[in-house]
Amino acid sequence: MMKSLFSNKGPFDINFIIKKTIFSKKKKFSKKKISNVSNLNESKKNDITFFENLKYVEKLKNTKASFCLIKEKFQSQLNKNCIPIISEEPLLDFIIISKLFYPDSDNDNYKFKNNIKYKNLLKKNVLVDTSVKIGTNFSVGCNTTLKKNVIIGNNVTIGSNCTISNAMIGNNVTINDGSVIGKIGYGFKIINNKLTFIPHIGCVNLLANVYIGSNCTIDRGSFSDTIIGRYTIIDNLVHIAHNVKIGSFCFIAGQVGIAGSSIIGDNCMIGGQTGISGHLKIGNNVNIGGHSGVLNDLKDGSKVIGFPSMPVRDFLKKRNNDK
């Protein structure tokens, strides 16, 4: 993940951090400053991370974090250079800790201040926050709001009625009417009988020459970034959830939904009204037919259709047998 666009209130001493948790064993450690929270894969020395999903056990073995919230039964899998913090609920404790570092990242509320540098856009009822940076040859429609933490490259076109925040937009990107980019994702837990949203400290990164259709929603990352690769073209009414990473030269048709933390390779084609479950890995050069439900990882070159998705040949054979 690139450096968070949110303000980091750390560092904090590890013992202060542990005192704030609810589900961790309150073990005393030598004084050590923790600089940041991070996921397993992108963590650095003096970071704290967590482990809960067995799908990421290889990343657990190779994490560079200094501390890891982890259930006792999994601690033998942890990198020997990373100190375990035993927790009955590692993710819930990690949410609590993340709020210490990034207290304003679990919502989209903030004090908007209009950027007088772009006051000429007020004629179109376009509002631009003081934190926004815009490159050359910028075009925008009417009634669009560019909120906090937005960096826009050159030759970018944004339509009307868009809301954009917490986003890095590359050169030659097009975003059509009504799209929402960089909002908080659909991630929450119940902690002490209280609905608690997961901090979303990541951003949306639209690389060069990406095309976004109308009325799309792309959530910013939680503990990683949401990334759309170069020259990828996305149709209208598509939802891309937090932490999703889509490769280059992909084509995604209307009403597709991609759940959180899934990874899509390069040169993929996804038919309309397809749903892709979370935490999946879709390889390169994959074709997914319309109306499909993808529940498992797909290897490079796969061609699937149906619910649950299956190889096209198997789908056609099953359909003929059902007649």
In three-state secondary structure terms, 242 is: coil
Q: Are 71 and 87 in contact (CB under 8 A)?
A: yes
Q: Is 242 one of the annotated active-site residues of the chain?
A: yes
Tell me the two tokens of residue 59. Answer: 């990343």
Tokens 């050159």 locate to: 154
85 burial (CB, 10 Å; 0-12 / 13-18 / 19+) is buried
Residue 168's DSSP bridge partners are 151, 205
CA distance 61 to 81: 10
CA distance 76 to 60: 10
Catalytic residue among 200, 239, 242, 279: 242
Torsion of CA 104, 109, 111, 112, to 10 degrees: 120
Which residues are marked as active site? 242
